[in-house]
Amino acid sequence: MNILPLLFFIGALLYGFPAAAMEAGTAETAYPIPATHVGALFCVAVFIVSYIFVLLEERIHMPKSKPVMLGAAIIWITIALIAPGYDIGHEELHNAAIHGLEEYSSLLLFLLAAMTYINAMEDRKVFATLRVKLIEAGLNMRQLFWATGSIAFFLSPVADNLTTALILGAVILALGKDDRKFVALSCINVVSAANAGGAFSPFGDITTLMVWQAGKVDFFEFVDLFIPSAVNFLVPAVAMSLFIPKDLPAPLHDDVHILRGGRRVILLGLCTIATAVSFEQALGLPPFLGMMAGLSFLLILSYHVRITGRGRPEDNFDVLHLVKRAEWDTLLFFYGIIFSVSGLSFLGYMELASSSMFGALGASYTNVLLGVSSAVIDNIPVMFAVLSMNPDMSHFQWLLITLTTGVGGSMLSIGSAAGVALMGAAKGQYTFMSHLKWTPVLILGYAAAIGAHFLINGHMNVPHNALEGTSAQHSVEAVHKPEISH
What is the predicted pLDDT for the residue at 298? 96
**In this predicted model, which residue has the larger pLDDT, 84 or 170?**
84
For the ranges 16-30, 141-155, 225-239, the one whose mean pLDDT is highest: 225-239
What is the predicted pLDDT for the residue at 128? 85
3-state DSSP assignment of residue 178 = coil
Q: How far is CA 228 from CA 145, 196, 239, 453, in A?
A: 21, 9, 17, 5
Mean pLDDT confidence for 79-87: 91
DSSP percent split of the chain into helix, strand, coil, nearest 5: 75, 0, 25
State the average pLDDT for the chain: 84
pLDDT tens figures, 219-241: 999 999 999 999 999 999 999 99
Mean pLDDT confidence for 290-315: 90
Mean pLDDT confidence for 150-163: 87
What is the predicted pLDDT for the residue at 464? 54
Burial class (CB in 10 A: 0-12, 13-18, 19+), 347: buried
Has residue 6 got a pLDDT over 50? no
Mean pLDDT confidence for 46-72: 89
List the one residue out of 142, 237, 135, 147 whose CA is nearest residue 196: 237
| Confidence band of 446 (pLDDT split at 50, 70, 90) | very high
Tell me the whole-structure pTM to 2 decimals.
0.77
List the one residue out of 439, 363, 369 whose CA is nearest residue 405: 369
| Confidence band of 463 (pLDDT split at 50, 70, 90) | low
DSSP letter for 355, please: I
pLDDT tens figures, 261-277: 999 999 999 999 999 98
| Confidence band of 9 (pLDDT split at 50, 70, 90) | very low
| Confidence band of 8 (pLDDT split at 50, 70, 90) | very low
Q: How far is CA 382 from CA 26, 206, 406, 409, in A?
A: 28, 11, 11, 11
| Confidence band of 100 (pLDDT split at 50, 70, 90) | confident
Side chain identity at 346, as an amino acid letter? F
State how far the Cα of 395 lies from the Cα of 370, in Å rounded to an integer: 17
List the one residue out of 480, 381, 386, 482 whose CA is nearest residue 103: 482
Has residue 30 got a pLDDT over 80? no
Kindly state the percentage of the chain with pLDDT values over 70: 88
What is the predicted pLDDT for the residue at 211? 92
What is the predicted pLDDT for the residue at 35? 80
| Confidence band of 444 (pLDDT split at 50, 70, 90) | very high
Mean pLDDT confidence for 170-175: 82
Has residue 466 got a pLDDT over 60? no
What is the predicted pLDDT for the residue at 304? 93
The answer to whether the CB of 25 falls within 8 A of the CB of 34 is yes
What is the predicted pLDDT for the residue at 474? 43
Mean pLDDT confidence for 25-48: 77
What is the predicted pLDDT for the residue at 292? 95
| Confidence band of 414 (pLDDT split at 50, 70, 90) | confident
Has residue 440 got a pLDDT over 90? yes
Side chain identity at 213, as an amino acid letter? Q
Has residue 139 got a pLDDT over 70? yes
Has residue 467 got a pLDDT over 50? no
List the one residue out of 254, 248, 290 whose CA is nearest residue 114: 290
What is the predicted pLDDT for the residue at 31? 63
Has residue 7 got a pLDDT over 70? no
| Confidence band of 475 (pLDDT split at 50, 70, 90) | very low
